[in-house]
Amino acid sequence: MSAPNKAASPLIYCKSHVAIHPSTKKDDNVFGFLICYRNVASSSTPSYGSGLGGENNHDFNVAWVRDDNISLSLKQQLLDADLYFADEYVKVNKHQGFGTTPTLTRKSLPNVDVRMLEYKSDWYCNINAVYSIQFRLPSQWYKGSIIINTKQHEYTSNIPVLFFHDDLCESTKLISKRLMLESFDPFTSERNLYWGGDDFKKFLNKNCDLQHANEVAGLNDNVYLVNPSLQDLRNFQTNKESSLGSSGLFDSSSKETKKPGLFESFEKSKWSVLGKIADVTNKLTNDDPKVNPILQTLYSSETINKLSNDKYVKRLLKKSQPQINKISSDFDGAKIYLAKWALNVKEQVEKQENVYKKLTNEMDNMVTEEEVHVALERNHPLSLVKWESMFDEQGRLKFTVSEIKDYIFHGGCVDDKVRAAVWPFLLNVYPWDSSEDERVQLYETLKTIYELNYKNQWVLDQTPDDFEEEVWKEEKFKIAKDVFRNDRHLDLYKHNTDDGNAVSVDPNSGNENAQIGEEDLDDDESTWVIKNPHLKALENILLSYNVYNPDLGYCQGMTDLLSPIYHVQQDEVVSFWSFIEFMNRMERNFALDQSGIKEQMVTLGELTSLMLPDLMAHLSKCDCSNLFFVYRMMLVLFKRDLDEEKVKQIWEIIFTNYYSSQFHLFFVLAIFQKNKVAIEHLEEFDDILKYFNDLKILDNIELMTRAELLFIKFKKIVMNVDETKTLSTNSSTEAGKDKLEISPRLRKLLSKEVILKNDT
Amino acid sequence: MSSRKKNILKVIILGDSGVGKTSLMQRYVNGKYSQQYKATIGADFLTKEVILEEDEESGNQGAGNFASATAGDSNNVKSNKKTATLQVWDTAGQERFQSLGVAFYRGADCCVLVYDVTNQKSFEHLANWRDEFLLHANISSPETFPFIILGNKIDVDDSKKQVSTRQAQEFARNFSADVASSASDNNSFGVPLFFTSAKGDLNVDAAFQKIAKSALQQNQYDMENNAFDDEEFNDAINIHLDNGAGSCQC
C-alpha cells in the first residue's frame, strides 16, 4: 500500500457492482459502490516513536453509493479506483500464490471527491461504529454478501445486506483471473473460493482489528467483530488453541451450568449477540426467502431432531421460551443456531467445570465464577493492529487508560514489537494523553537530556562531577563485570564483537591457532572489555543511571532489570528513561540498610499468614518465616526464574499497577499456593531455598490467574473485616476483641501508587 | 538455633564479584565450565558426596570420636574412610547485601575466600571478606575456624596477572594474625592457599579435597562441643549474638 499517489487521496477502498436486493426480482437489484475513505478533515500523520507503523488508517468511513445517484464521470473514477485496488490486492497478496510478474492494469488512483460521495451515499458510517460484519460466501445459487452490524441498532437497520456481483465486477474478475492464470489456485489463503468480499475483508484486516467470532453456534457463519472491546471478545471467546482449556465459547455463561439461573447471566452479555444473529436471519428472510431452505439443508432432519431432543438443549430452549418463540417465529433456522450453541456451551462446560471448580475451591469459594472467568480469560493479547486502532488520527489514545491496562493485564502484548510501542507508556516515558507529534518532540528532548546531562559526563573517560575518580573506576568495573555476563544466551547479546555478529572464520585460511585465539578474544573474561553494541548500550545506560542517581550507585541486579527493557526497545534513549521509571519502583530493594526489601518480606509474611496460614505456620516451624528464600525473586522480579518471554509477560502486568502497585507479592503468593504441598514436605531452610532457586515456573498463565484471584480474595477479606468492624463498634464493645486486624502494611497492598524508596 | 545437620559439611565461598566463585563450584561439583554464568544474586548451593581419608598426623580428638560413632557398622577402621555430603554455598560478590548473607552463613564449617589473580583489588579485599564472615556467621571460635584461600584464573597469560605468588603466600601465612589477637596468645597460624583455574580445571579438586577435610574437622569439633554441653553452647551463641551484629537474628 505504498503507491506514490495514494497518500493524496482519501479514498482507501472501492468495490464496484455491490448491490442491494430490495426484492427477489432480479430487476429490482440496485447496483452501487462500496467505498471506504478517510475523514476529509484529517490527514495522515507521519508516525514516529510510538510504534504506530505506517499510515494511520484506523479511522475511516464506510459508505455505499448507488450507481444512478452519481455522475458518469464520478462513476468512471470509481471504476478506475476499483481496478486500482485490485492491483493493490494482487501486489499485497503476491506471496499467497500470485506469480512474481503480475500484469497489472497500471491504473492510477483517481483523485475522487469523497465529500461528494459521502453526500450522495445511501448511508455511511465510521468504522468505529461498526460492531460486526458477517461475510456470507457465495454459493452456486447465491451471490456472496456481507451484513454490517453497527453498535447502534437504528443505524444497522439502515444498512441493507450488500451483495457482491462477482460476474460483473471488473476488479473481482481481474483478481480471480490472476489467481487462475498465475497459480492455478482459485482459492484464497483460507481455502475458500475467492470472491468479491475477500478484498473487503483483507482491507479491513489491514486497517482495523478484525476478529473472527468463530463458529458461533457451531456454524461457520463468518462473523467478524470490528475493533472489539475486551468485553466483546470475552463474550465471543472461542479458544481453540488454549492449552489449559482455560476458557471456552460463551463460558461466562458456563459457570451457571446446571443451575436454574443459567439465563440470568447469559441474557445480559450473550443475548445481545444472539439477538443480532436473529436480526440478521430476520433480514435474510425478508431479503431472500430462499435462504431459509438452504440453511436447513445444511442439517439433516435427523440432526435437527437429535439436537432438539437433547435434554440439555430442551431445558435451555424451555428456559428461554419468550426469546425462542420470538426468534423461531421470525426464522426457523435460528433454532438450529440455538441448539448448536447450547450443545457447544454444554461441551465447553464439561471441559471447564473442573478448572473452575478447582480454582474456586482453592480460593475458599471467596471468588465468584465471573471473577474466575475474567482471570482465566487471557486469549486476547494486544496485537500491533489492535494497539494502533486505539489511536485517533493524531496518534492520541481513543481508549481510556484503564481499558488499555485491562487489555495488558489480561492478555499482555503479542510480541516485542507491540511491547516496544506499549512499554514506554506503561513506564511513563510518554504520557497517555500525548499525540504523535508531542511524542516525537518529547523523544528529541529526552535524547538531548540523556546525552548532555548524563552520558556526556563520563563518555570521554572523564569522571562525573559527583564522583571521586577511584569510586567511579570501581563503579565502572562493577558494571562492566555484570554486563559482560548478562543474558549472553540471547542472540542480541551473544557475540562480544563490534558488530554483535559471530566472528566469521574463514575456512580456507585455517590456521587453527589463529581461530582459537580469536574465540578466546571473544570470551576473555579477564579483560571484561565489552564490544557488542547492545551490551555496550546496557553499559552506557547503567553508567548514565549512576550519574543520574549517584547516591544509589550500581547494585547487582540492575543489569537484570535493564536487560529485558533494552531487549524490547533496542533504543538507548527510550530504554534509559524507561529504566529510570522502573528503578523508581525497584530502588527501595537496593537500599543499603535493606529496609526496602525487608519491608517487602515482612509484608509478604503478613500476607501469607493471612491467606495461607497453614503454609506460614510450616515455614515458621522451619525457621523460614523471614522468607529469605524468595529474595532473588523479589530483587529482580522473577528474572532468574522464568524464561525471557515469560519475564516480559509478568513484568508488563506488574507495570500496569492494575490492581496494586505491589502485585508482584501476589505472584509470589500464587507461587506459594501452587507449591504448597511440596513446600510442606521440606523442613530445612536449605532445602526450601534450594527448592525456590531451582523452581522453574512453567505455567505462567496459571500463575497470573492465581495471582489475580488471590488479590480479589484478599480485597474481599479486607472489606469483610472492615464491615464486621463497623458492625461490632455499632453494636457492642465485646465482639471486636479477637477479630482479624488488617495492618497498615497489608492495606497498602490495595493501593496502586508505586512505593518509592523514600516512602519506606 | 543451628541449621547444622549431621554429615553435611557446609562450605561458604566468598570473594569479589567476577572472581569465579560460581565457576569454581560448578567445576568442582558438576565438572563443567561455562562462559555464561550470570552474576549470582542472593545465594545458592550445590551438594556433592565426598569420601575422605583420615589424615594420620592430624590427631584431632573430634575426628576420632566421630569415626568411632559412625564407622562401627561396615567401614574398615584401619583405612579410616568416611563419606560426607559437602554443601557448597555460592554467594553474591557485591558487598551491598552482606548482612543478608547472615541467613546463608549460619552453620558454616569452612569458609573459602577467592580472589582473581588478574585483579589486585579482589586480593586486597580478602581481609574484608574474612572479617565480614566472622562478624555475621556466628562462629563459636573464630581463632580456629578453617579458612582456605583460592587464587583463581591462573590459566590466563602471565602478563595479565596482578597478584604475585609471594604476595599471596605471605597473606596466607599471616592470615590469622589479626583475628586471634586477644585471647590465644601470639598463636598465629597460616591458612592453606591454592592456585586454581575453574576454566582450565587446574587444582580445583585438590583444593576442594582440602576444603572438605577442614570442614569435616570443624564439624566434628563443633559437634563434640555441642554434645558436651548443649545449653552452654547455646548461651555462647547468644552472647556472640549480642556482641556481634545485632541484625543477624532473622
Measured CA to CA, the distance from residue A265 to residue B31 in angstroms comes to 61
Looking at beta carbons, which residues of chain A come within 8 Å of B17? 478, 481-482, 556
In this predicted structure, what is the pLDDT of residue A413? 95
Give the DSSP letter string of A666-684: HHHHHHHHHTHHHHHT--S
Q: Does residue B214 or residue A156 have the better pLDDT?
A: B214
Nearest chain B CA: its distance from A498 CA (Å): 19
DSSP lists the bridge partners of residue A147 as A134
- Put simply, the answer to whether A485 touches B38 (Cβ < 8 Å) is yes
On whether the CB atoms of residues B132 and B98 are closer than 8 A, the answer is yes
On whether the CB atoms of residues B9 and B109 are closer than 8 A, the answer is yes
Looking at beta carbons, which residues of chain A come within 8 Å of B121? 474, 477
Looking at beta carbons, which residues of chain B come within 8 Å of A626? 103, 250
Looking at beta carbons, which residues of chain B come within 8 Å of A563? none
Measured CA to CA, the distance from residue A461 to residue A514 in angstroms comes to 32
| pLDDT band, very low/low/confident/very high, at A119 (cuts 50, 70, 90) | confident
The residue of chain A with its CA nearest to that of B93 is A556
Nearest chain A CA: its distance from B39 CA (Å): 6
In this predicted structure, what is the pLDDT of residue B190? 84
In this predicted structure, what is the pLDDT of residue A345? 59
From residue A10, give the alpha-carbon distance in Å to each of A39, A67, A691.
7, 20, 62
Report the CATH fold assignment for A595-759. Cyclin A; domain 1 (1.10.472)
Highest mean pLDDT: which of A186-195, A655-664, B73-82? A655-664
* H helix runs in chain B, sequence order: 21-30, 61-70, 98-105, 120-124, 126-136, 165-173, 204-228, 230-243
Domains and CATH numbers, chain B: 8-248 (3.40.50.300)
Which three cell numbers mark B221? Answer: 569439633
From residue A270, give the alpha-carbon distance in Å to each of A264, A273, B106.
10, 5, 61
Q: Does residue B13 or residue A467 have the better pLDDT?
A: B13
pLDDT digits (tens, 9 = 90+) for B3-16: 445 678 999 999 99
In this predicted structure, what is the pLDDT of residue A155? 62
- Taking a contact as any Cβ pair under 8 Å apart, which residues of chain A between 350 and 389 contact chain B? none
**Does residue A656 surpass a pLDDT of 90?**
yes
Nearest chain B CA: its distance from A698 CA (Å): 21
Closest by CA to A630, choosing from A591, A663, A671, is A671
The residue of chain A with its CA nearest to that of B88 is A686
On whether the CB atoms of residues A654 and A633 are closer than 8 A, the answer is no
**Does residue A47 surpass a pLDDT of 50?**
no
Range scoring the smallest mean pLDDT among A219-228, A359-368, A476-485, B86-95 = A219-228
Domain ranges of chain A: 1-209, 231-377, 439-590, 595-759
Measured CA to CA, the distance from residue A144 to residue A358 in angstroms comes to 46
On whether the CB atoms of residues A317 and A342 are closer than 8 A, the answer is yes
- Taking a contact as any Cβ pair under 8 Å apart, which residues of chain B between 78 and 107 contact chain A? 87, 92-94, 96-97, 99-100, 103
User: Under 8 Å CB-to-CB from A199, ≥6 apart: which residues?
Assistant: A13, A15, A85, A86, A89, A171, A172, A175
- Put simply, the answer to whether A556 touches B41 (Cβ < 8 Å) is yes
B6 touching chain A per CB within 8 A: no
Any idea what DSSP says for residue A450? I
In this predicted structure, what is the pLDDT of residue A214? 59
User: Under 8 Å CB-to-CB from A342, ≥6 apart: which residues?
Assistant: A310, A312, A313, A316, A317
On whether the CB atoms of residues A136 and A200 are closer than 8 A, the answer is no
pLDDT digits (tens, 9 = 90+) for A2-22: 334 444 578 889 999 999 888
Which three cell numbers mark A6? Answer: 495514494
A482 touching chain B per CB within 8 A: yes
Q: What is the mean pLDDT of residues B168-192?
A: 70
Q: What is the ipTM of this complex?
A: 0.81
Nearest chain B CA: its distance from A488 CA (Å): 6
Range scoring the smallest mean pLDDT among A118-122, A293-297, A659-663, B101-105 = A293-297
- Put simply, the answer to whether B38 touches A635 (Cβ < 8 Å) is no
Q: Does residue A593 or residue B102 have the better pLDDT?
A: A593
Q: What is the mean pLDDT of residues B148-172?
A: 93
**Does residue A60 surpass a pLDDT of 60?**
yes
Distance, CA of A275 to chain centre: 28
- For CA atoms B177, B179, B182, B187, the dihedral sign is negative
- Put simply, the answer to whether B96 touches A556 (Cβ < 8 Å) is yes
Highest mean pLDDT: which of A364-368, A724-728, B239-243? A364-368
| pLDDT band, very low/low/confident/very high, at B109 (cuts 50, 70, 90) | very high
- Put simply, the answer to whether A636 touches B41 (Cβ < 8 Å) is yes
| pLDDT band, very low/low/confident/very high, at A557 (cuts 50, 70, 90) | very high
**Long-range contact pairs involving A20-26 (C-beta distance under 8 Å, separation at least 24):** A20/A64, A20/A160, A20/A161, A20/A162, A20/A163, A21/A160, A21/A161, A21/A163, A21/A287, A21/A288, A22/A160, A22/A287, A24/A288, A24/A289, A24/A290
In this predicted structure, what is the pLDDT of residue A284? 42
pLDDT above 70 covers what percent of chain A? 70
- Put simply, the answer to whether B37 touches A528 (Cβ < 8 Å) is no
The residue of chain A with its CA nearest to that of B38 is A485
Measured CA to CA, the distance from residue A514 to residue A688 in angstroms comes to 48
Which three cell numbers mark A48? Answer: 514516529
The full 3-state SS of A62-127, as one line of letters, equals: EEEEEHHHCCHHHHHHHHHHHHHHHHHHHHHCHHHCCCCCCCCCCCCCCCCCHHHHHHHCCEEEEH
Measured CA to CA, the distance from residue B171 to residue B162 in angstroms comes to 15
Range scoring the smallest mean pLDDT among A32-46, A398-412, A444-458, A608-622 = A32-46
B52 touching chain A per CB within 8 A: no
Q: What is the mean pLDDT of residues A171-183?
A: 75
- Put simply, the answer to whether B36 touches A526 (Cβ < 8 Å) is no
Looking at beta carbons, which residues of chain B come within 8 Å of A488? 35-36
Which three cell numbers mark A603? Answer: 509484608
Highest mean pLDDT: which of A278-292, A346-360, B145-159, B170-184? B145-159
Instruction: Name which of B39, B92, B118 is nearest A526 (Cβ-Cβ).
Output: B118
- Put simply, the answer to whether A525 touches B153 (Cβ < 8 Å) is yes
Measured CA to CA, the distance from residue A625 to residue A619 in angstroms comes to 5
